[in-house]
Structure 1
Amino acid sequence: MVDDPPPYFQAHIFVCTNRRPDGHKRGSCAAKGSEALRDYMKARAKELGIPGIRVNSAGCLDRCEFGPTLVIYPEGIWYRPQTREDVDEILATHLQGGGRVERLMLTDKDRV
């Protein structure tokens, strides 16, 4: 058995920036402001000096109705931030503090 190398990042955040045509029945995260929230999250994480994380764009994460959505790995925790203040709370509570922002989490009940 081969030993796996250590992870390159301690946390990897994927923010859905998928865009569907206007009026699509499922909507899209980009139409709900996810690109601006992703940009803010990247800049704010850097400003706060949070080590070992990466904020990336993702294609469709298939939870469009709840968007904007993001998922944080390795835990696989899903969030639906709506504002910059929500992003700040996720950064502080989840990524800096190791906790969870329950009011913003998507759970098994949030399935379409």
Structure 2
Amino acid sequence: MSTIMITVIDREGAEHSDVDWEDDESLMECLVRNSFPILATCGGNASCSTCHSFLDQVSFETAGEIDEDEADVLDSLTEDEREPTSRLTCQVPWDEDLEGAVVRIGPF
């Protein structure tokens, strides 16, 4: 099993460095396994926004295209909730090129 290390910024602004992300997980699964407050209400099916987070710009570009289902959910967020680098973490697959990514957990 391969792992990469990422940094997670929680809702209080605390930075958690060296969070391990395993190659058989989505970003959402990594965050849940590491006890971050991600609800994942829909179970990773891109039908809710409870795993919404923000990626740093480079990681956002590396993570690939946003598909139509994810775009629809992100479009339902308010202007205050969404940022240009918003993603549903359930739709971000592990990729070794995401080593060092910075993920800021979105609002509830």
**TM-score between the two structures when normalised by the length of structure 1:** 0.24
**TM-score between the two structures when normalised by the length of structure 2:** 0.24
Instruction: Please identify the structure whose Cα radius of gyration is greater.
Output: 1
The answer to which structure has the higher helix fraction is 1
The answer to which structure has the higher strand fraction is 2
